[in-house]
Structure formats: structure tokens, C-alpha cells
């Protein structure tokens, strides 16, 4: 049984998307350090699940990153960093990476890998992540993500007024997915 989710976005059938979810993570600061150092082994999108609402939320960011890449308009250095950047609703890259990316005090992490070239290491992803991350892999489901969500963090990250209810996950996902789609245009 694969520890994570593997799927394809309908509009991008050539690209394979892997999503993993890990709890009880003890080496978040190490991961972050390697990421910032540009260690190519860490070419994944590492996201703090506290700011995630659902799997659809993640996919909205992957979609935005892929469409931007197709249009030749990546604003960060790699597709992985672009996925994290896509999560934010603003054009401030550093701020978004800080808000949504893995933090030193993260005790859980959501990982995304997009293989646009299928010849790449699709199979070794889970083994690789198992080595990089010191934590427990749990199934990537809306329920598991919901347990890790911090509603206030989501509200703050997307600057949502109190009037907008985040209790209903579907509605909340629509709100953030819309913000992700309209980043830079609103």
C-alpha cells in the first residue's frame, strides 16, 4: 500500500502528482535548512498542514503552478517552490513561503511532488521521503488534513473577514481555491 496519494490533474494528464502527509515529524528544522541551502535531493513542496483545508486545496495550488509554468511564467526557481508560492493569495514570495512552507516548529508536514517528465523517479518518491522525513506517514485524506488544520491560521493567511465562515470545508475550500486562482489579479 502506497503511503501517499498519486494522481493526475484531469487537465494535465501527462504530469503525475504525489501527495504525502506525515505527523510526529521531528526534523522539520533540518528539512528547512536543506531546502534553503538548495539541496537538490529536497526538491519537493513542503507545506505546513496547519494552513491546509483539504486535498482539493492542495490541488488548486498545484494546478495554478502548472498552468503558470505552461504559460512560461514561473515566479520562483522551481516547480516545487512554485506550488508553495501558489498557495498564497499574494505576490509576496518570501511571505507566502514563510506562511505556508515548513517551519522549524512544524510537527507535521504535507509534501507534494509534481513529475512533469514521467521518466523521472516516480517510484522512488515514497522511499525517498521516508528517508528525508523523520515522522509517521498517514493516509492523505480530507479527514486527516482536517484534523491538522488550524482555522485561525487559514483565516490569517488568506486575510478572510470574520464574516466568511470556514466551518463548512467545501465552502472554505472554494474560498481559498478562488483566492489561489486569482492571485496577482484581484
Q: How far is the CB of 13 from another protein (least distance, A)?
A: 5
Per-residue x/- mask for another protein, residues 61 to 90, rule CB under 8 A?
A: -xxx--x--xx-------------------
Residue 137, Cβ density class (10 Å: 0-12 exposed, 13-18 middle, ≥19 buried) = middle
Of the candidates 143, 159, 162, 167, which one interacts with another protein according to CB under 8 A?
143
Q: How far apart are CA 55 and CA 15, in angstroms?
A: 17
Is the separation of the CB atoms in 60 and 52 below 8 Å?
no
How far from 48 is each of 73, 103, 111, 184, CA to CA, in Å? 25, 7, 9, 23
Q: How far is the CB of 14 from another protein (least distance, A)?
A: 8
- Give yes or no for residue 119 binding another protein (CB under 8 A): no
Longest dimension (CA), the chain: 47
Let me know how many helices (H) and strands (E) the chain has, helices first.
8, 5
Q: How far apart are CA 109 and CA 111, in angstroms?
A: 6
Q: Which is nearer to another protein, 40 or 162 (CB)?
A: 162
Q: How far is the CB of 137 from another protein (least distance, A)?
A: 14
Q: How far is the CB of 38 from another protein (least distance, A)?
A: 29
- Give yes or no for residue 173 binding another protein (CB under 8 A): yes
Q: How far is the CB of 70 from another protein (least distance, A)?
A: 7
Which residues of the chain form contacts with another protein (CB under 8 A)?
A: 5, 7-13, 53-57, 59-60, 62-64, 67, 70-71, 139-144, 164, 169-170, 173-175, 177-178, 181-182, 185-186
Amino acid at each position: 500500500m502506497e503511503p501517499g496519494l498519486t494522481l493526475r490533474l484531469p487537465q494535465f494528464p501527462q504530469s503525475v502528482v504525489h501527495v504525502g502527509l506525515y505527523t510526529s515529524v521531528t526534523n522539520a528544522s533540518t528539512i528547512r535548512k536543506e531546502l534553503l541551502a538548495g539541496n537538490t535531493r529536497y526538491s519537493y513542496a513542503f507545506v505546513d498542514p496547519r494552513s491546509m483545508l483539504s486535498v482539493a486545496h492542495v490541488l488548486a495550488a498545484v494546478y495554478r503552478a502548472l498552468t503558470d509554468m505552461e504559460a512560461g511564467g514561473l515566479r520562483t526557481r522551481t516547480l516545487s517552490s512554485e506550488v508553495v508560492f501558489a498557495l498564497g493569495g499574494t505576490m509576496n514570495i518570501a511571505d507566502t513561503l514563510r506562511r505556508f512552507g515548513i517551519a522549524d516548529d512544524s510537527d507535521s508536514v504535507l509534501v507534494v511532488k509534481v513529475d512533469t517528465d514521467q521518466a523521472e523517479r516516480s517510484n522512488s518518491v515514497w522511499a525517498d521521503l521516508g528517508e528525508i522525513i523523520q515522522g509517521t506517514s498517514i493516509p492523505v485524506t480530507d479527514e486527516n488534513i482536517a484534523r491538522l488544520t488550524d482555522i485561525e491560521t487559514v483565516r490569517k493567511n488568506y486575510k478572510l473577514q470574520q464574516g466568511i465562515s470556514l466551518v463548512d470545508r467545501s465552502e472554505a475550500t472554494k474560498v481559498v481555491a478562488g483566492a489561489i486562482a486569482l492571485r496577482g489579479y484581484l
